[in-house]
Structure 1
Amino acid sequence: MEDYMFSSDINVVDFSFWIVTASMAAATLFFILERFEVNPKWRTSLTVAALITGIAFWHYLRMSSVWIEDGTSPTVYRYIDWFITVPLQIVEFYLILVAVTVVKARLFWQLLVASLVMLIGGFYGEANIGSDSKEIIGFVVGMAGWAYIMYLIFFGDAKQANDSSGNPAGQLAFKALRYIVTIGWAIYPIGYLLVYIIGDSPFGEGDLNLIYNLADLVNKIAFGLVIWYAATTDKGAVVSAAASVAKKAVSSTKKRSTARKSSARRTTSRRRS
């Protein structure tokens, strides 16, 4: 087993796998339960948040086993997880906008394709470790996909749609997710650089897995919590829900009143006859 700079004791990496596994399970249960407490227009976003952490939980069970039992980096399983959950995270931007405003369908495909390019580049680099040129090519391609996502959410169609939505809760969620993608996601390429790109790097695969695990813990769960917070503080949603309840109550009262009047007429008719 190789030495690690950040995690000289192998149990530190083991622990990070288990804490992320448990956290993903807890977050999934939380998002599932909370989706029933928010306005229907936010439920799809919370459902996707639960899917992200639920899928990550399932894959972390396997990744933990590979690392602890075999002592090898679960690169393939990690990228299987990312190929499912990262596009879902990016699509959350689209779902938030759809919940509060009208958005062109092309934005969905732009975000989805950019996230796949980012992942394909990263996987190509990590699958060809030992070939310096391929590691760098993979890194450059992955960064290009990330840069295009950043353009869309800071300057492109996604930003414009968010600015014109007029929904404070939706705008808050969008901006918070935008900074998660900027700062939180920067952890991944930093780890890649430290281990694969820097010549004679003192960092090893244990360090990389520790970095990736902590990044997943923060980014996946934070994504869902931001959406949950926005859904619970959306005053428009609260007003809409209250109006819906009031409308149902008025409708029910009218039905009961009509039924009583109808019953009274029938009773009067019988007495006359």
Structure 2
Amino acid sequence: MIPDSISAGQHDAIYNIFSLVIASQLFAALFMIACLPRILPRYRQAMIVAATVCGIAAYHYFRIFNSFNSSFVTDSVGGKGDYTQAAGEGFNEGYRYVDWLLTVPLLLVELVAVLALARKLQTSLLLRLVPAAALMIILGYPGELSGDNSIRTIFGTLSTIPFLYILYVLFVEMTKSLGNQPPQVRSTISRLRILLVATWGVYPIAYLLPQLGFDGAAAWTGKQIGYSIADILAKALYGLIIYRVARIKSFADDPSFAENELSVEEAREVLGNSERAKSPAGRN
């Protein structure tokens, strides 16, 4: 539940973290668009999706930032006293869920797109991952709105079912398709999936805080900070790692592109790793 008042320190912490998220998402998106010529055309779709995710997040955090500033006001000189909810205003937590409804499925789209899998396999993965991601967010929203812990538990449990299915597809089904990827891509994708799961794990923890007995201004402040940090890692950092994967695959696919982008020594190392991965000995 949104508290009736927060301290000046809590207000400043939330204000600053929202500002950090806006800057992180906005400039990550600009960086990804600017770097499109640094990867082969077949991987640019993944980067455009990644930039779109960060752009959507930047927009929604701007709305969240404005909603927060309108909702909590103070009469103290210099803003050193407590901030209370303004009459007729309310912090709109729904912006987060609209953001997640759009960006969480797209995070999975960019992961599948950057692997450049066979069209049939790519379609099969997306038809399973995208609806499950959307369902996970939709089922979590009624619980987030409710002040009744039993309702939160019900919808939190329902939301966990598609989450577990996503984990199964990412760590079981997708693993089967990684055999022909360059070694650096396989290791990076493994770390990327762990990053995704670790950052997504912040959301259910914050969701469960009221059931665990943590409530009030301090818990609410912690939730806003936790959500914000998780969003930076799961969108901006995740997108930059997708860019790294796209670069590695571009080098492996086109030796002349690698030679133009890298030093001679770096190009030889990348191409050497790629050739070893293609050999029977390299795959074993």
Q: TM-score, normalised by structure 2?
A: 0.76
SS of the residue corresponding to residue 180 of structure 2 reads coil
Q: What aligned pairs does 1:1-273 form with structure 2 within 5 A after superposition?
A: 1-3=4-6, 8-71=9-72, 72-98=90-116, 103-127=121-145, 129-155=146-172, 157-162=173-178, 164-194=179-209, 196-199=210-213, 201=215, 203-234=218-249, 235-239=251-255, 241=257
Q: CA deviation at 1:187?
A: 0.9
Q: List alignment gaps of at least 5 residues for structure 2.
A: 73-89, 261-284
Residue 40 to residue 169, structure 1, CA distance change in 2 (3 Å): farther
Partner Cα separation in structure 2 for residue 114 and residue 66 of structure 1: 30
Q: CA deviation at 1:240?
A: 6.1
SS of the residue corresponding to residue 5 of structure 2 reads coil
Deviates more, 1:101-110 or 1:54-63: 101-110
Contact 1:100 1:165 in 2 (8 A): no
Deviates more, 1:182-191 or 1:47-56: 182-191
Contact 1:29 1:50 in 2 (8 A): yes
2:76 match: none
Residue 101 to residue 215, structure 1, CA distance change in 2 (3 Å): same
Question: For 1:54-88, what per-residue CA distance to the aligned partner results, in whole angstroms no more than 9, with x for missing partners?
Answer: 11111111110001211344311111111111110
Residue 64 to residue 75, structure 1, CA distance change in 2 (3 Å): same
Structure index of larger Rg: 1
Q: List alignment gaps of at least 5 residues for structure 1.
A: 245-273
Count residues with an aligned counterpart.
Answer: 238
Partner Cα separation in structure 2 for residue 214 and residue 37 of structure 1: 28
Contact 2:28 2:236 in 1 (8 A): yes
Q: State the identity as a percent.
A: 28
RMSD: 2.4
Runs (4 or more) in structure 1 with deviation over 6 Å come to none
SS of the residue corresponding to residue 187 of structure 2 reads helix
Question: For 1:131-175, what per-residue CA distance to the aligned partner results, in whole angstroms no more than 9, with x for missing partners?
Answer: 2221001111222221111111111x212112x333334423421
One-letter identity of the residue aligned with 1:230: V
Contact 2:114 2:245 in 1 (8 A): no
Relative to its length, the structure with more helix (as a share) is 1
SS of the residue corresponding to residue 57 of structure 2 reads helix
Partner Cα separation in structure 2 for residue 166 and residue 84 of structure 1: 28
Partner Cα separation in structure 2 for residue 36 and residue 138 of structure 1: 44
